[in-house]
Structure 1
């Protein structure tokens, strides 16, 4: 939530709640094996159609809206496992790619997603705008083929 508050668009709890409870929202949830009340994290995703730089082509996308892990669950491979499961789901449903949005200030997330093979998507501000225009955006859009 902190990064959202500092973002250009700010934090809107009602909008985030609506996004997280839309009928299309799907979750992968990690709980403790010994106590199901202990949550380690979740991945929120949706299967969506996204624009491309070609006006006549849309992409079928497994879109990662949120990947959240409690601090104590980080660096054990859980985030990587969640993203691997999303790739398998995307493959199963024959999606073109996986996508996500990441704040430029979140250097750890950038390193994590780059390690998993994600790159700037063609519609990411830095990929499709001039450097001057792209500076106005505090996020990038990353993607990776599902196959």
Structure 2
């Protein structure tokens, strides 16, 4: 968390700015692809943490959509994250609500089902575009 490259989106209560509601940590990285000669530019989400009272209210979705816009603004190829398979709620949020899919380097995408079962996580990603609409940069939906 103290890496100089790490960046944070911090959520505070509107009524009391000293009241922390959660954060998202991320870095802009060069990520491997299945092509040994190609690296992808990625806005990589390392962690989303919300206080219990802020969960299920759209704050995590809001922080992730901000990261998508940041990735697009900086011309990243994609937004990426790692999610534990056991975290079903997070997996549903990322895939069903936010449109993330298994990244090409995720165990579930590049290994046989038998070998992929050995991993307790998947790597998800969502491509970014750099389309400007009403002055705002958008990621593909």
Q: How far 1:36 moved relative to its partner? A: 2.4
Summarize deviations over 1:59-118 as a string: whole Å, max 9, x none.
000000001111211222111111111011101100000000000000000000012000
Which has more helix, going by share of residues? Answer: 1
Q: Is 2:116 the partner of 1:134? A: yes
- Residues 15-63 of structure 1, C-alpha deviations (whole Å, 9 max, x = no match): xxxxx11000000000112322211100000000000001111000000
Ranges in structure 2 where 5+ consecutive residues have no aligned partner: 130-141
Structure 1 unmatched runs, 5+: 1-19
Question: Residue 80 of structure 2 corresponds to which residue in structure 1?
Answer: 99
CA RMSD of superposed structures (Å): 0.8
Q: What is the TM-score with the length of structure 2 in the denominator?
A: 0.88
The count of residues paired between Structure 1 and Structure 2 equals: 128
Please name the residue that 2:29 is paired with. Answer: 48
**Aligned residue in 2 for 1:77:** 58
Counterpart pick for 2:68 among 67, 81, 87: 87
Whether 1:27 aligns to 2:8 is yes
